[in-house]
Structure 1
């Protein structure tokens, strides 16, 4: 799980924050950079093809490795090939090809997330899921550091081609983990080729409509407001996050400075924010933590308005990153606990997948227009406007934030939901 977590965390920044930094250093128009935020949409829509991964075998490979591991290998090979193409493609002369390769990377990475989660759930009982997730999350963050700070350091010294070639080679870590991992049947003690329980036929209605109907049955008409709270809670971060690296570069910070502060130091501050968020829920309850997260998550963008108004000094960058990453993961932890409390028995996995896609989708859709906002108003006003998005979110949290608070247990969130937005 440690190695598979690394393999899942590695591609995220290479199609997100690190990719926008590469475009910015090539002097790609700021509006075009903003539109490339849509490349992350496969992470939000992965629930649409998850039933395919769950129900169908990979020809030939499945006989050798089993269904789960064969899909891992296919997804990781797709990610590695995408990174290889990206390393050999010039953003100035072949921007469409570079964008296509980045989209293939995002699709392959999202597919890898689906199948790694399935392998984890099927390979260990409930009593071992805590340790499996802990190993996964540690590996995921090591992948983020490699794709963030590591990629920027290599790009600063040897160029972007060497950086992306190195990242492509690092995908071999996940591939080795897939080949060495035992099949779920072996982990459970079943016969590898023994009789298999017949799988239910998947349909759109069963995968999406039934869980939504269950949510409405339990929440009633207020479900609309609850879903609005989920959808807009993290929007200030998603809208501003895509402009972070171009902002740092336009401010005059060097790639090594961005790597050290944003991609290395910032990730650990984000992890601290997540732990404090969990402690706050245990100490004060979900509702106060959700309200505090709504305020902090949006207001922290004002730190970047302050940063834009001064000279490019490293201590100023470190302070703004500290405020933003801590607040962002604190708010993210509160939202994930809230979403877990909304799920119902028998539909928890599907409903959480749908809710986690919903919380990311609106912000990612709007974030594609962020470059136009910066071009029109400048960075300082842009970050102030994103902070203002938090005002209606706070109202929704006050009115509807208590929903699901009495649920005694919450299921753990996927590790990529914890990835600090600014580190991405």
Structure 2
């Protein structure tokens, strides 16, 4: 990759315009591109592993694959600093990274299809991690582009709704379609066909107009980008395999296995980020604008966030960690629970089809509409309540006779609340970032928002073993409500003016 000319200071955002029909369609497409793979390394993968007899505790451990999206702030600055050879020269920095990420997504998903027997769980984990990594990279690039183009709250409402409509349409298509395909044609067919669908946006992006210098023309840029992508994808696979080998060896040496109770360790690790922030904020808030920590390409965007919000940053981090906690905890184990109740893959697939899509679309639309007309804090509170109701719905379902109608009701409640809360939350996080660092700071906020929930989700299997499914989903619903008491304090938070 080559360093772009404006490496240290991100380029100024283009003049803000209200999103038109074309922008809405583009962001619906980008949401679709990112949403298709997500279920394939989370919910669908969990059901696939369950079908192959993998223990519930190990299913919980596979939830840690979803930690990749929470750690995206580690490599997000690279997407601001570097261009993808070929792709970025013609289509621009953001679209160049999106195109590379799509190639990573299809390669990882094809690999998962070819290893769908899960005979070696380490290999399954390798390709699941790569799929999560490239899906997250796509989201980082698309989010940065969105915030640059549409920085205000009234602009963000409709564009976020369009993006989430595409995202949730794809998630439902992947979840429902993959399960129906797996029930009839097997897991390999399911992953291959979803991989083909995930690749459909790539030629559309190739056909779009040039945004960069366009040197050498479209064909040369495409050929150069494809060649560079092969090298980058190979290096990413090698590095991931090496890191995974070391981590698995370390886990084995300290005695972690399917019978281990990892919950206390996870809870301890969850406290580390807050302790680190409490130590660092007093130093950061007094840094002058010329200090190396504030001008650094690698850590400058994150230091800037804590400089702007000072001690209120800790409050913000607590809130964003709690707000989606219930939904994240429920994601990986809701489908295995439903399967254990006696529902078939086809029944789950049908519920995740039209019902989930319609409920999610309505929730996203209402959430996007509400933030344009009411205060953000009221919208956040309503979203938290709806998300909690969705989690409590699984407890209700567990005490009903097996009935597809009951499954539809529980799925609809869950997806409506998830969609509403998700739309409001995306807009809120987008408004917290400094427009000078849209990609890195949004990646940091969204990554941290799901870091603690996904760490706890990895211990979900052992938690169910201790308190049962009822206790687990009652807990996840209560955690969704736990963010509401923080809202009055959030209303008083104000960012410092930039002194740079």
TM-score grouping bracket, smaller chain normalisation: 0.7 to 0.9
1:160 paired residue number = 187
Alignment of 1:379-394 (within 5 A): 379-390=469-480, 392-394=482-484
User: Does the CA contact (< 8 Å) of 2:91 and 2:214 recur in 1?
Assistant: no
Distance 1:404 1:31, change over 3 A: same
User: Does the CA contact (< 8 Å) of 1:3 and 1:173 recur in 2?
Assistant: no
Query: 1:2-61 CA deviation, whole Å, 9 max, x = no partner?
Result: 544432221111112121121222221111111111112222222321222332244566
Query: 1:383-408 CA deviation, whole Å, 9 max, x = no partner?
Result: 112223245423223x32424699xx
Secondary structure at 1:301's aligned position in 2? helix
Pick from 66, 71, 74: which aligns with 1:48?
Answer: 74
2:491 paired residue number = 402
Distance 1:254 1:171, change over 3 A: same
Q: 2: distance between equivalents of 1:131 and 1:317?
A: 31
Alignment of 1:13-412 (within 5 A): 13-59=39-85, 67-118=93-144, 136-185=163-212, 192-193=214-215, 203-216=297-310, 221-282=311-372, 284-344=374-434, 346=436, 350-390=440-480, 392-397=482-487, 399-403=488-492
Unaligned runs of 5+ in 1: 186-190, 195-200, 407-424
Query: 1:55-90 CA deviation, whole Å, 9 max, x = no partner?
Result: 224456656766555433432222111111111114
Instruction: Report the alpha carbon displacement of residue 211 of structure 1 after superposing the two structures with TM.
Output: 2.3
Q: How many residues align?
A: 391
CA RMSD across the alignment: 3.2
User: Does the CA contact (< 8 Å) of 2:60 and 2:457 recur in 1?
Assistant: yes
User: Does the CA contact (< 8 Å) of 1:24 and 1:33 recur in 2?
Assistant: yes
Distance 1:61 1:324, change over 3 A: closer
User: Does the CA contact (< 8 Å) of 1:341 and 1:405 recur in 2?
Assistant: no
Secondary structure at 1:300's aligned position in 2? helix
Distance 1:58 1:338, change over 3 A: closer
User: Does the CA contact (< 8 Å) of 2:147 and 2:438 recur in 1?
Assistant: no
User: Does the CA contact (< 8 Å) of 2:161 and 2:365 recur in 1?
Assistant: no
Instruction: Report the alpha carbon displacement of residue 161 of structure 1 after superposing the two structures with TM.
Output: 0.7
Instruction: Report the alpha carbon displacement of residue 138 of structure 1 after superposing the two structures with TM.
Output: 4.2
Instruction: Report the alpha carbon displacement of residue 193 of structure 1 after superposing the two structures with TM.
Output: 4.2
Unaligned runs of 5+ in 2: 1-25, 217-294, 496-500
TM-score, with structure 2 as normaliser? 0.70
Secondary structure at 1:184's aligned position in 2? coil
Q: 2: distance between equivalents of 1:248 and 1:404?
A: 41
Q: 1: distance between equivalents of 2:164 and 2:419?
A: 14
Distance 1:164 1:286, change over 3 A: same
Distance 1:20 1:174, change over 3 A: same
User: Does the CA contact (< 8 Å) of 1:234 and 1:363 recur in 2?
Assistant: yes
